[in-house]
């Protein structure tokens, strides 16, 4: 019994398909067929059609199971060795960067305190944004544009001016990242490097929280348990910093609050940046170029405003002593001072 000829026809319902099938199979002399014979013929045809539908369903089920098993085998295959190596390199670089940042920042503050040669933290934030812009531009030129200068310029023009709405979206995470970097330096002035490093791991908690709220991600019970354990560890570290000195208490509390604000801005900015990346087709290197440009503008405005404030204060205090040239020159020289370096 072959009924496959009806599979490619656009029938509205199964009942219409069944009726047309019966009309096709019944003999042309249908009126002369007795009623009981016609009923038996209809029942026979219906039974044959039902058997064929069941066989087709079984065949489709086997095909689906085979496709599923093939996908499972493909997913169970090990990753490419080069991709696995890249993951380990990124992990090691991230560990070195996070641990080294706290140590270097603390060293610059201690050195500045010993030599009485202070620097304004906004200059360090500005230098970091410039360095990030250079690295992102080189990576985008090499990996995304295949070292083609024309393609690189066209890509920048397209993403900056034609698709400007996506560029505007990056103002939110870029401003938050700039604020976060400034809060890091303030926190480091109030806390020691190990305490800062432990407390700053709260950004894992804030990132998970914003991922659940904004990206609707689901965390497993193990992940929630890890977040709770991390929260308890941070709380224990903070309690261990409580001392009898009121000055130390105020510094510790101010550093703790600044760390919380930094973790909140970092978590929200990271999740928001992920949303922007998923909604557009641009590469992460190009988006980092745009983030760096906005960050440089914000840091530059902050740095210039602080230096103008310093110059105005120095000029106001020096009117009676005629020390404006020397002290103003010393204040302006801070603009070229990098963290931990001399004039």
Domain ranges for the chain: 4-76, 121-336
Tokens read off for 24: 């096709």
Query: What was the pLDDT predicted at 59?
Result: 54
* Helix or strand run (H / E) with residue 64: helix 35-76
* Helix or strand run (H / E) with residue 100: helix 81-115
Distance CA 318, CA 312 (A): 10
Distance CA 93, CA 37 (A): 83
Query: What was the pLDDT predicted at 195?
Result: 86
**In which residue are the tokens 């550093």 written?**
255
pLDDT band at 329 (very low <50, low <70, confident <90, very high): very low
Instruction: Say what percent of the chain tops pLDDT 90.
Output: 31
pTM: 0.67
Please say if the pLDDT value at position 52 is more than 80. Answer: no
Query: What was the pLDDT predicted at 117?
Result: 78
Please say if the pLDDT value at position 297 is more than 90. Answer: yes
Query: What was the pLDDT predicted at 168?
Result: 93
Give first-to-last CA distance, the chain, whole Å: 95
By three-state DSSP, how is residue 34 classified?
Answer: coil
């Amino acid at each position: 019994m072959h009924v496959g000829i009806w599979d490619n026809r656009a029938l509205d319902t199964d009942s219409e398909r069944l009726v047309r099938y019966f009309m096709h199979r019944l003999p042309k002399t249908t009126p002369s067929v007795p009623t009981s014979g016609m009923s038996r013929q209809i029942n026979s045809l219906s039974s044959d059609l039902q058997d064929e539908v069941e066989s087709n369903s079984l065949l489709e089920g086997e095909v689906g199971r085979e496709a599923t098993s093939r996908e499972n085998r493909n997913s169970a295959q090990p990753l490419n060795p080069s991709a696995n190596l890249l993951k380990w390199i990124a992990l090691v670089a991230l560990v070195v960067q996070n641990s080294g940042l706290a140590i270097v920042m603390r060293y610059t503050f201690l050195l500045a305190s010993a030599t009485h040669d202070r620097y304004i933290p906004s200059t360090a934030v500005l230098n970091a944004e410039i360095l990030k812009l250079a690295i992102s531009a080189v990576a985008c030129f090499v990996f995304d544009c295949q070292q083609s200068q024309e393609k690189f310029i066209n890509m920048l023009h397209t993403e900056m001016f034609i698709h400007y709405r996506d560029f505007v979206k990056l103002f939110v995470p870029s401003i938050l990242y700039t604020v976060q970097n400034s809060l890091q330096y303030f926190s480091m002035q109030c806390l020691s490097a190990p305490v800062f490093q432990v407390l700053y791991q709260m950004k894992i908690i804030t990132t998970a929280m914003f991922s659940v709220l904004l990206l609707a991600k689901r965390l497993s019970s193990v992940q929630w348990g890890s977040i709770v354990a991390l929260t308890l560890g941070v709380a224990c570290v903070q309690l261990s910093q409580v001392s009898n000195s009121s000055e130390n208490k105020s510094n510790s509390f101010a550093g703790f609050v600044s760390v919380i604000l930094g973790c909140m801005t970092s978590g929200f900015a990271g999740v928001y940046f992920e949303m922007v990346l998923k909604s557009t087709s641009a590469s992460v290197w190009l988006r980092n170029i745009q983030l760096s440009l906005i960050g440089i503008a914000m840091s530059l405005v902050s740095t210039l405003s602080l230096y103008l404030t310093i110059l105005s204060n120095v000029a106001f205090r020096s009117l009676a002593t005629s020390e404006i040239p020397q002290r103003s020159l010393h204040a302006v020289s801070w603009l070229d001072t990098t963290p931990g370096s001399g004039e």
